[in-house]
Amino acid sequence: MAETLEIVTFRLKSGTEAGFVDGNGLLSDWLARQPGFLSRCLARQDDGGWVDLVRWQSREQALAAAGRIMAEIGDCQAMRAIDPASVDMKHLAVALAV
């Protein structure tokens, strides 16, 4: 079971930037309750895009959470702010962590 890094890049819908970070509480709380969750880091890119990095104990646990998130909290403030057409999600096996 290899630790997995979930990398999600996305853009926000116009007019949703203000309060986006503060509106991530429900999403962070939901992630923290998922089996295999280790940590999360949300970062804003220079071009206005966003990167959400989530560490999981395994790829299977990451994929299971990804499969449930929209049904369980897809209507929360943070999720509504994201432009769905801009989302790119990758799951990578961690080779080295310090």
- Tell me the pLDDT tens digit for each residue of 24-81: 999 999 999 999 999 999 999 999 999 999 999 999 999 999 999 999 999 999 999 9
CA 24 from centre of chain: 10
Q: What is the DSSP letter of 60?
A: H
Work out the pLDDT band at 22, boundaries 50, 70, 90.
Answer: very high
The enclosing H or E element of 78 equals helix 77-81
Contact 50, 68 (CB under 8 A): no
CA 76 from centre of chain: 13
Q: In the chain, where does DSSP find H-type helix?
A: 25-32, 59-73, 77-81
Rounded average pLDDT over 87-98: 96
pTM: 0.94
pLDDT at 1: 76
Backbone angles phi, psi at 35, to 5 degrees: -60, 130
Rounded average pLDDT over 9-14: 98
pLDDT at 40: 98
